[in-house]
Amino acid sequence: MIRPLTLALLLAGTPLIAQQTPDPVVPPAPEQIEGPMTLERMAQIVQALDPDVIASGPTLQFNIDAIPVMIVADATADRMRAMVPIASAEGLSAQDLMRMMQANFDTALDARYAVANGRLWGVFIHPLSPLEKDQLISALVQTVNVARSYGQTYSGGANIFGGGDSNGIYRDLFEELRKKGEAL
């Protein structure tokens, strides 16, 4: 219940508040809006990450920390896929497959474990045109990390709970790759 004195103060202050001119709403400064991702732009970003990238049509092959990465893109379908080979799919146990499915739900983040053509892969699949530079770099870091962490933490690495060293290591790799492509 509002006390009479409090009510009187509230009501007495109402005309003053109503007479005040609010500060004009200033919209935030627009962030730099990236145009749609294209095959050419993606190739420029990847070339900044690895100058030795090999481009063949819609396919880019390169390395991140000595780990082979392949991107296949299709502008017509507006899709891209980043892939890192992990191991042969032969001999994967039901327990291995279950653990990878669990990781796909929580720790692999935007990257995923996948099996194709007899091989286990770390993959990131996304529409091409809305993909932004930092999303691409983060996706590459996560895809490399699911390959690195296979059989251990099964993690994409961007969000890890706990006070260990992993967050710093993954953050350092992201920042290193981001700086290489900063001018793009």
Q: Cβ–Cβ contacts within 10 Å for residue 42, how many?
A: 23
Q: Where are the domains of the chain?
A: 35-180
CA nearest 111: which of 148, 84, 146? 146
Q: Is pLDDT at 79 greater than 90 in this prediction?
A: yes
Q: Report, in this order, helix, strand and coil percent for the chain, each rounded to 5.
A: 40, 20, 40
Q: Is pLDDT at 19 greater than 50 in this prediction?
A: no
- Stretch 171-184: mean pLDDT, rounded? 76
149/25: higher pLDDT: 149
Token code pair at residue 122: 């770390």
Q: Is pLDDT at 43 greater than 70 in this prediction?
A: yes
Distance CA 112, CA 83 (A): 10
Per-residue model confidence (pLDDT) at position 150: 95
Angle made by CA atoms 143, 146, 152, in degrees to the nearest 5: 170
Q: Domain 35-180 has what CATH class? A: alpha beta
Q: Which residue has the tokens 């045109």?
A: 129
- Stretch 89-109: mean pLDDT, rounded? 91
Per-residue model confidence (pLDDT) at position 25: 56
47/161: higher pLDDT: 47
Per-residue model confidence (pLDDT) at position 90: 96
In the structure, what pLDDT confidence band is assigned to residue 137 with cuts at 50, 70 and 90? very high
- Stretch 79-89: mean pLDDT, rounded? 98
Per-residue model confidence (pLDDT) at position 160: 52
